[in-house]
Homo-oligomer: A and B are copies of this chain.
Amino acid sequence: MPKQTFLQLPEGKQRALIDAAKKEFSRVPLHEASIANIIKDAGIPRGSFYQYFEDKEDLYYYLLNQLSQENNKKITAMLKEKNGDLLGTLEDAFRHMISLRHDPEHGELLNHAFRNMNYRKENTMANSMYKESLKNERSQTLELVDTSYLNIKDKQELLHIIKIVGAITFHNLVQVFVHDLTEEEAIANYTTQIDLIKRGLHRNEDM
C-alpha cells in the first residue's frame, strides 16, 4: 500500500510514476522488473521512490488492485444485468476477461500477471485488498446473487460455490494466457467445464 506521501503528491508526479510503472510491468513480469528502470523513466530519484512505496511489490499490487477494481465493477454490473443469475453470468464475464489481453493499455501487464499467477495476485484480482470495507463489498455482491437458481441449502454453500467457480475461472484464465489459446478454444473449454459442474459430475443411478 502506497505511503501517505505518495497520495499527497501532485497529480502529475503520481501519474508519471504510475505510467512508468505500467510501462515496466508491461515489459517484463514482476520479478524481472527493476525499480531502476521505473525511476529513470519517471524522472524521480531513487530515494524518493522509497518515500512513496515500500518496495517494488507494493507498487505492483497497488497497480494491479486498481485495474482489478474497475474490472470487478464491470462484472458486478453484468451480474445485476442478469438479475443475479450467477452461473449464467460466468461465460460473459470470462469472455470479457480474456478480451483484456488485447487491451493496448494493460494487455501486456495482464499477460505477465497471468503467466506468473500466484496466490497473492489471484487474491488481489479477486478481492479488493486495499479497500477497508472488504466484507461489506463482498456481501453487497453476494446479495446480488439469486440463490433460487442454485442447488444449495444455505448461505454458506453459496460461498463455496463462489470459491469453486473462482478456482475454475482462474485456472482457465491462466491456461488462456500461458498457452495463447484462441478465443474460441478458451470459451469452448470454459463452457464445457461450467456445464459439467452445473449438471453435476456424478452420474445418478436412475439415469
Residues of chain A touching chain B, judged by Cβ–Cβ distance below 8 Å, are 31, 87, 115-119, 148-152, 156-157, 160-161, 163-168, 170-171, 174, 178, 189, 192-193, 196-204, 207
Contacts and interface: CB of A to CB of B under 8 A. Distances in A.
Contact of A192 (B148, B160, B166, B203): B160
Contacts of A198: 200-202
A181 B16 CA distance: 42
A151 B200 contact: yes
B200 A200 contact: yes
A150 B201 contact: yes
Given A164-B168, A171-B167, A201-B164, A152 B116 contact: no
Contacts of A189: 160
A149 B203 CA distance: 6
